[in-house]
Amino acid sequence: MRTIQVNLSRNNYKIQIGSGLLSQVGNTLIAMGFRGKAVIITNPTVRALYGEILLSEIRKAGFETVILEVPDGEEYKSLEWAGRLYNQLHDFQTERMTPVLALGGGVIGDLAGFVAATFMRGLPLLQLPTTLLAQVDSSIGGKVAVNHGKLKNTVGTFYQPQIVIADNSVLKTLPGEEIANGMAEIIKYGIIRDQGLFEIIEKNLDNLSAQNESLLEELIARCAAIKAEVVEKDETDLGPRNILNLGHTIGHAIETASDFQIEHGKGVAVGIIAAGKISRNMGILSQPDLERMGKVISEAGLPVRINGLKIADILQAMQHDKKKAGGKVRFVLPKKIGDVFISDEVTVLQVERVLEELI
Ligand SMILES: NC(=O)c1ccc[n+]([C@@H]2O[C@H](COP(=O)([O-])OP(=O)(O)OC[C@H]3O[C@@H](n4cnc5c(N)ncnc54)[C@H](O)[C@@H]3O)[C@@H](O)[C@H]2O)c1
Ligand SMILES: [Zn+2]
């Protein structure tokens, strides 16, 4: 098991990464000082695979435990389902110190986190991420939210968990597409901050499967450490956290322009290539580094270009982001593998030029 410490102004917590950690959660709860009741929030897919095992482990440790279920899908990350969970927490006679365990991918982590943050003005939250994306990204950093109509992740708050327990053995049941989605974020971390991580991915391109537990544990730990460090510097996302958005400016616009038919990881993959090309055209990123990025992305099962979208729609979606950011589109651009810079000066023409090659 590897442990990463997150030190924030008001609280500190650990991220644990290792195979088989879910079967120790009962003891972990006791060691953290919890007694009495515990609540698991999950979805039917994850419940069938890991929910019952977790439930019996926690009961064995002496907790009165209930599993609350939300259907599987982004559309249930809503105020309506938060409301249903509030009722169920009330029925269970949840107390202020009853821990909420969010067992699932980013959807469950965000929704259960939002519910834990708001019910009785805050219940202790444990993040038990079960997707690669959730283990390297969404479970760390305290952003919790629900969607509201077309407003994605707009109703939310910052609420840090008391611990993140990432059991990488659960990734074996994750569909290949979801592994690829998580890989997009892992590649992103390598490019923004960790050349060594990028080289490990390059060396293991034939070996990047969820079956390779020790490799995944290493990748997850390195990414979690980067996210923890960035969050420590900028808990409420006012500046330095921006670097985590590499590939996301154009990536989000691609997702939006496709009416969310193109998944996040795929949008980010093409967004990373676009950012690389913009930087290359400015004479900053080297051609060999740009090619290494393209190779890693395609070998990880992600696209380096996307057909069937209109460039005008992508630019339009970016205009929306621009309004949110106070009039400028902020780009994170790679300087070289392992280092990035931020620019507010990228012109529409520069973006159009690279999109013409990629779309
Ligand atoms: N809070 C943050 O900082 C942050 C960051 C990034 C993304 N997000 C949010 O995360 C969400 C996306 O998360 P995601 O990619 O994990 O998607 P997800 O939660 O929808 O999970 C993807 C699919 O995998 C299934 N699944 C989960 N674990 C499994 C396992 N071990 N084996 C088999 N199947 C499993 C789920 O049931 C689901 O069908 C979005 O709502 C996004 O907004 C939040
Ligand atoms: Zn992302």
Residues of the chain with pLDDT under 70: 322-327
State the distance from the centre of ligand 2 to the C-alpha of 64, rounded, in angstroms.
Answer: 36
CA separation, residue 219 to residues 15, 27, 101, 230 (Å): 14, 26, 24, 17
Cα–Cα dist 56/62, whole Å:
10
Closest ligand 1 atom number to CA of residue 140: 3
pLDDT of residue 324: 63
Instruction: Say what the pLDDT of residue 8 is.
Output: 95
Structure confidence at residue 107 (pLDDT): 98
| Distance of CA 335 from the midpoint of ligand 1 (Å) | 30
Question: Quick check: 49 and 170 in contact, CB under 8 A?
Answer: yes
Look at residue 325 in the predicted model and tell me its pLDDT: 61
Task: Select from 107, 140, 242, 252 the residue to mutate for testing ligand 1; criterion: most ligand atoms less than 8 Å from CB.
Answer: 107
pLDDT of residue 340: 98
Dihedral angle at the C-alpha atoms of 269, 275, 276, 277, nearest 10 degrees?
110
Ligand closest to CA 137: 1
pLDDT of residue 122: 98
Ligand 2 centre to CA of 138 (Å) is 8
d(CA 330, CA 94): 43
Closest ligand 1 atom number to CA of residue 107: 19
Listed residue (223, 218, 145, 241) closest to 184, CA to CA? 223
| pLDDT for res 209 | 79
Give yes or no for residue 168 CB within 6 A of ligand 1. Answer: no
pLDDT of residue 326: 63
Q: What is the pLDDT of residue 320?
A: 77
End-to-end CA distance of the chain: 42
Query: Around Cβ 281, how many Cβ atoms within 10 Å?
Result: 12
Tokens 């005008």, located at residue: 312
- Cβ(227) – ligand 1 distance below 6 Å: no
Question: What is residue 47's predicted lDDT score, i.e. its pLDDT?
Answer: 98
Buried/exposed 29-51: b ≥16 CB within 10 Å, e otherwise: beeeebeebbbbbbbebbbebbb
Q: pLDDT tens, 251-269?
A: 999 999 999 999 999 999 9
* Whether the CB of 164 sits within 6 Å of ligand 1: no
* CA 74 to centroid of ligand 1, rounded, Å: 8
Q: Can you give the pLDDT at residue 87?
A: 98
The model carries a pTM of 0.97
3-state secondary structure of 315: helix
Give residues with Cβ within 8 angstroms of 290, minimum separation 6.
Answer: 276, 277, 280
Q: Is 107 in the pocket of ligand 1 (CB under 6 A)?
A: yes
